[in-house]
Amino acid sequence: MSLFDSLGAAPTQIDLGEAYLALDQGVLDGQENPLKVADANSFFEKQEYLSLTSHIYSPVYLAMNDQAWQDLPQDLQEGLQEAADAASATSRELAAEADRTLIEKFEAEGMTVNEADVDALREAVADVRDEIADDIPGDFADRVLTSVEP
């Protein structure tokens, strides 16, 4: 909410199940969701524009108990890490391809797709980014902000 406030929007939280009707009736001017969600809810039928902003990164985590990891022999640790790295790369490739396919679909449905100036957007919301980073433990926010490419 703070991000959109900082950009001059008037964000409103609404139940996802009500968003299509709200877009249809003009209660909402737009919505913010992953492309898969916009497609599944047919928002492309009610929205003229799609702005690709890269303002959220939603990774899926592979986690393991540290003690269980430490108890594994080195060769199994290396094999599991290699498999996790390969799965990560494949997951990112498949997600990027799925997004490209949906963008093509939305354009075919008549939406105008805009690519945001990600560097300008990052600068415009720097205060918000700093504000929420304070709520994230450790150096996680710094690591994500320096490793994510738009």
**Can you give the length of the chain in residues?**
150
Strand partners, 50: 113
Q: List Cβ neighbours of 62 (8 Å cut-off, separation of 6 or more).
A: 84, 87, 88
Q: Please, what is the end-to-end C-alpha distance for the chain in angstroms?
A: 21
Query: What number is the average pLDDT over the span 80-88?
Result: 95
CA proximity to 35, closest of 26, 47, 24, 21: 47
Q: Which amino acid is at 94?
A: L
- State residue 145's pLDDT score: 63
Q: Which residue has the higher pLDDT, 112 or 124?
A: 112
Predicted model pTM: 0.78
Q: Please check the confidence at residue 115 and state whether its pLDDT lies above 60.
A: yes
Residue 127, C-beta contacts closer than 8 angstroms, at least 6 positions apart? 6
Mean pLDDT of 7-35: 94
The C-alpha atoms of residue 24 and residue 116 are separated, in whole angstroms, by: 25
pLDDT more than 90, % of the chain: 65
Q: Please give the mean pLDDT across all residues of the chain.
A: 89
**Residue 144: what pLDDT?**
65
Domain locations in the chain?
2-147
pLDDT in tens, 22-50: 999 999 999 999 999 999 999 999 999 99
Calculate mean pLDDT across residues 107-122.
93
Q: Please tell me the distance from the alpha carbon of residue 39 to that of residue 31, in angstroms, as a whole number.
A: 12
CATH number for the region 2-147 comes to 3.40.190.170
Q: Which pLDDT does position 103 carry in this prediction?
A: 97
Give the integer Cα–Cα distance in Å for 55 and 72. 38
> What is the mean pLDDT of the segment spanning 146-150?
54
Tell which wins on pLDDT, 123 or 113.
113
DSSP bridge pairs for 52: 115
